Structures are given as structure tokens and as C-alpha cells.
Structure 1
């Protein structure tokens, strides 16, 4: 009975591509010829080596995932990045803060469905802020800039950090139209949106089609201005 169970286990292990037990190998040697037994041993050695490589691969993968999570957490912890995340909602902002704390901790951490969702969202945001130039391809900062009679000359200030603001024209147009509906705004604010700004230093022009046309937003580019 025990021999029969061992032989059946051997057949199942072979069928499912699993390493063989020593007892099953010994029983097989007694039932098959020397050449077949030698081939069975060679197969089993290759299978044991493959299992060891897969185990090492899994450990390497887990280590690389943890390193990537720490790197992603470091990027997400930047104050400018967090400011943009905060504009996307308090729920996402809180999830990102929890992810940052988790990524900074030692050792491996469980990757629940919510954690994986936060990781995926962060990767998309990082990609958008770094590479994309579409209207919603980066975070938008809105600030007040005093207009002067003469252009302001930018002066390098050594190692001081320089921030670049990408302005979303669609959002700015909506803000300008909304501000004009406020009583007395025309006396307090000078609103000027020019969609034909020419290329210069440091202003970069953007062009667009005719208003109301189905192609009005084709080939549109967006202004980049140093924040002062």
C-alpha cells in the first residue's frame, strides 16, 4: 500500500512538473531500467535547480519592488508634488501620506489593493508631471503676478531653487470669465489673457485654432513662466 502511494505520488509530481522525493526515486529505480533511472535523476536535478532559481528570482523581485516603492515614496514626499496631490482631493492626499510613511519604514510591507491603487496613481502623476505636455498633463499653480510697464529682467541667484509653473490655459480662461462676473472686479483687477503671445525670453508662445472650431485645441502649446 505504501509503495503504491509513493508510485502514485511520483506520477503526480512528474505530471505537475514538481521535484521528486527521494523515496519515490528509489522505488522508481527498482521498477525501471538503469538508463531510464539515470534520465529520471537528470530530470530531477534540473527541476530542483530550476526551483532554486525561481526562489532566488522571487527574492530579487521582492527586493527590487521595495526599492522602487522607497524611490516612489521619496518623489511623492516632495513639497511641490504633495501640493499638487492635495488639489486632487483629501482622500488621495491622505492615501499618499500613508504610502510615504509605509515606504520609509524598514523591511517588506503588505501590498493591499488600496496600496497598489495608490502606487498606480502616483506613477501616473509622476509620469504626467515629468513627460506630458497636454492641458491636464501636469499640476497647475495659480498666482498673482504684478504687471509692470517694463519687462522684468531675471537675475541668477546662485543655488537658490527655481520653480517653473505650467499654466493650464483652459483653467485660466474659466477663471478670467468667472472673475469678470464679480461686481467691481474690473476696478480692482486687470485681467489679460492673450492667446497670441509671441515667443521670447522667458515667455514661450502657444498657438491654437479659431474659437468654436472643432480643431480649436489642436496643436495647442502652453506657456511656461518662471515663478517670481
Structure 2
């Protein structure tokens, strides 16, 4: 039971090769005719999503290169979340090794850039305004710890939400083996509802990850 329950998070295949990590390449095979070559509805929808992200991030950051990087980050996480819902694909974003590879390098680059180019502002950011003098040492410790754990919280938030949604779908699917027609029909309806919710979670988690990373980048200048 436990092996079947967590099999969707196992990156190994029947040949004991970790080939499922390359499943992100399948996006190139799925989208060429419907996205790259024709002005289809998927193309218009994706352009609308990118313009909406651009409009929201423009109020926070003014660097076009950083904005392009954040939109690319959202696209990568969203596509990996969506691929995890397809048959015979494992959930890549449910592994901390992948989510940390997104959050940790970007957070370290922001911190290095901020401390090297604007260290006075970085020191001032450790103490909130109107803090009593006696609480300043404690506030510096608290702000430093909260700043250090940011990449871990980003990675754990994304990983935990992906694991929770896939486990619910797997548990519901395991109940359908010994059911009659009427309970099975109700179970399929429930699973379709949870699948719709999981589709929204895929986009929301990618948006939350990108938005928080954008807010962290705005604190360095």
C-alpha cells in the first residue's frame, strides 16, 4: 500500500534509470503545433498570462532582465506542475532537490548582489522602523534567521502542496478497485473535482513562488 501510494514520487523507472527527470522535454513535443506555429487559443491564453504577470511585477521591480527571469521561472514551475498530473509522469516539483535548485541559487544571488552593492540598505533592512533601542539586537537576530530560511520555506511550500494534492488523488484512485457502478460514478465525479482543484493549485503555487521571489528581489535595492 505504501509503495503504491508513493510510487508517483519515485523518479526511477522499471530499468532502474532516472529517465523521468527528462520529462520536462516532453513540453517541446506537446506544444509545437498548438503554441509555436499557430496563433491558437493556447497561444493567446499564454500571452495573456505573461502580460498579466508583467503588469503585476512592473510595480515591484524595474529591471526588464529580472522580470524576464521571473516570468521564465513561473513558466518552468507551472509546466512541471502540469506534467506531474499526466499519466506515467512523476511529480518533479515534489522533490526538494528540484525546488531548492530554483530557490537557493536565486536567493544567494540576490543576497550577494545586495550586500556588495547596497550594504547600507541591507543593514537598515534588518531593523524595522520605530523599533525600541532595547529590542534592536533581538530584531536583528529574528530578521537574519527569517532571511536565511527563505529559500527553504519556498522549496518546502511548493513541495508540500504538490505532495498533498497527488496523495489525495492517489488515495481516491485506490478506492475504485472494489466498488459497484453507483459508488464508482460518484467517486469519479469527486476525483474530477479534485483534479480541477489540483490544476488550479499548479498555477497558484507557481504564481506564489514567483511572487515571493520577486518580493525578495525588491529588497536588495
Decide: shared fold, TM above 0.5. no
If the TM-score is normalised by the length of the shorter chain, which range does it land in?
Answer: under 0.3
